[in-house]
Amino acid sequence: MAENDQTGAENGGFAEDEQNAPQLRVITQYIKDMSFENPGAPQSLTPQAEAPKIGVNVDVGVRGLSDTDFEVEIKLSVEAKSADAPIFIVELTYAGICRLENIPQESMQAVLLIECPRMIFPFARRIVADATRDGGFPPLMIDPIDFALLYRQQMSEAQATVGNA
């Protein structure tokens, strides 16, 4: 038993398996592009008789920076309408640099398109809420997004496209 403790100490206190364990870290996060439009102000700021219809579109993109570092972007487009007239429009591209180490190659795409966006999404959500509040509206709290479902939909669409070619 003492030999096992010594071996751990020689490896910097980590067992060899722990040194090779999969790791995902967000190195930094930032707003890449943002737009808030309030085309009907100040009239649009008066209370409405009925709640506006709010549409949210989400897209995720990945760009490799090195063997271990990737830029992961979440593009959010939010439009609130009342009687087909826009009340406000928010467009946000929020990105993070994610470092992936010891991730099996067959899992890389899923980690990049599911786990990385899941980690940075709460920050993008807060930015949209702050922008709508600062624009004179109640803060818009976007519902949590199931990035695994989005990933499966993208994979299905890609397979359908390949099947039709």
CATH number of the domain residue 34 falls in: 3.10.420.10
Q: Determine, yes or no, domain membership for 27.
A: yes
Mean pLDDT of 64-92: 93
Domain membership of residue 4 (yes or no) is no
Looking at the domain assignment, is residue 110 inside a domain?
yes
Question: How crowded is residue 68: how many other Cβ atoms within 10 Å of its Cβ?
Answer: 15
Torsion of CA 128, 129, 132, 136, to 10 degrees: -160
Per-residue pLDDT at 165: 61
- Give the model confidence (pLDDT) of 100-118 as tens digits: 999 999 989 999 999 999 9
Residue 37 lies in a domain: yes
For residue 78, what are the CA distances in angstroms to 44, 54, 84, 124, 142?
16, 7, 14, 12, 9
112: closest CA among 157, 163, 65, 56? 65
pLDDT at position 50 over 80: no
Residue 10 domain flag: no
What's the mean per-residue pLDDT of the chain?
86
Q: Is the pLDDT of residue 1 over 90?
A: no
Percent of the chain scoring above 70 in pLDDT: 87
- Domain contains 13: no
Query: Cα angle vertex 18, ends 14, 21, to 5°?
Result: 155
Structural domains in the chain (count): 1
- Strands (DSSP E) contained in the chain are 23-37, 53-64, 69-82, 85-101
Its domain, for residue 56, covers 20-154
DSSP conformational letter for 165: -
Q: Is residue 163 part of a domain?
A: no
- Condensed to tens digits (0 to 9), the pLDDT of residues 123-151 reads 999 999 999 999 989 999 999 999 999 99
Contact 70, 63 (CB under 8 A): yes
The answer to the question of residue 147 being in a domain is yes
